[in-house]
Chains A and B, each alone.
Chain A
Amino acid sequence: MSNPLIPTSTSNRIRPEYRLGVVLIAALGIGLLTFYACKFFATREVREMTQSPSGGLEWLRREFHLTDTQFKNIEDLQAAYAPACNEMCSRIMEANSKVSVLVAQNDKMTPELEAAIQEANAVQLNCRTQTLAHIYRVSAQMNPSDGQRYLRMMASRVLQPGPSSDTAVRAATE
């Protein structure tokens, strides 16, 4: 037989007037815990992808359902294209800064400034052509439906650029 003076369960130990508070605090604590636990585990995969340097390619693999072979081929294409992309980037920067310098130096249109603008446009045209060619090569590696979707998505981003992707990247990282 148990001693009635010794409490036998947790609920007996808590004074009835405090029980409501204890239950409410426990419910709130468990609610918050499950909220953060669910959020942490459900976002972990994509969060890790954003932190990885190859996150962009990993996005491509999942978004367009690439097989390992397709992914490997696209990775090779990307590796071959990267130096050309960097080179184009430098040429655009150079041509734009030349235009900027001439605009600052002149107070009216000069043949030199006109030539610089035409050169910058030519560089842009060349870069867009090369980028589009790369997009075609990548889409050719995909399944036809995914390839078409990729082509539409990338062509719209490259040929009719809206707000820069960098705006989105900065907004998300800040």
Chain B
Amino acid sequence: MDDELRKKLASWKVQPQIPADFQRRVWDRIAVREARTSRLHFVMVWAVALMRQPRVAVCAIALSALIGAGLGLAESGRANTENWKLLEAKYVQSIDPNEHLQSY
């Protein structure tokens, strides 16, 4: 069994079909990836350099606080409107027996 397998393996020849522009395509892909990596690296280096300046870091934190406060106020406006409608419904329930009945 082993001899037979060995013979078959010995007679097995792989003839890969490599496209004519295979090498060029590989190099193209490497170049594209390197360009992408170097762009990201450039952005990271730039951001790190920027954050070295304490004034920029403080500005980034202050901006974040401002955005947080703005979003928080907008969200609280929405929540207050919702609760205001809930209070109106509560009042209507207290004077309308039909509405009052729904709460049972």
Contacts and interface: CB of A to CB of B under 8 A. Distances in A.
Contacts of B60: 23-24, 27
Interface residues of B, number: 47
A34 B94 contact: no
B103 A169 contact: yes
Interface residues of A, number: 59
Given A27-B63, A31-B65, A38-B73, A127 B98 contact: yes
Contacts of B93: 56, 165-166, 169
Nearest to B50: A20
Interface of B: 44, 47-48, 51-52, 54, 57, 60-61, 63-69, 71-73, 75-77, 79-80, 82-104
Contacts of B80: 42-43, 46
Interface in A127-161: 127, 131, 134-135, 154, 157-158, 161
Contact of A19 (B51, B68, B86, B97): B51
Contact of B97 (A31, A131, A154): A131
Interface stretch (A58-66, A99-107, A108-116): A58-66
A161 B87 contact: no
A92 B77 CA distance: 38
A134 B89 CA distance: 17
Interface of A: 11, 16-17, 19-20, 23-24, 26-28, 30-39, 42-43, 46-47, 49-50, 55-60, 63, 78, 81-82, 85-86, 88-89, 92-93, 124, 127, 131, 134-135, 154, 157-158, 161, 164-169, 172-173
A56 B51 contact: no
B68 A33 contact: yes
Interface of B: prevailing SS: helix
B100 to A, nearest CB: 5
Contacts of B63: 27
Given A81-B95, A85-B94, A172-B82, 19 more contacts: A27-B64, A30-B65, A34-B64, A34-B65, A35-B72, A36-B72, A47-B83, A55-B87, A56-B87, A56-B92, A59-B90, A85-B100, A124-B98, A131-B97, A157-B92, A158-B96, A158-B98, A165-B89, A166-B103
A26 B61 contact: yes
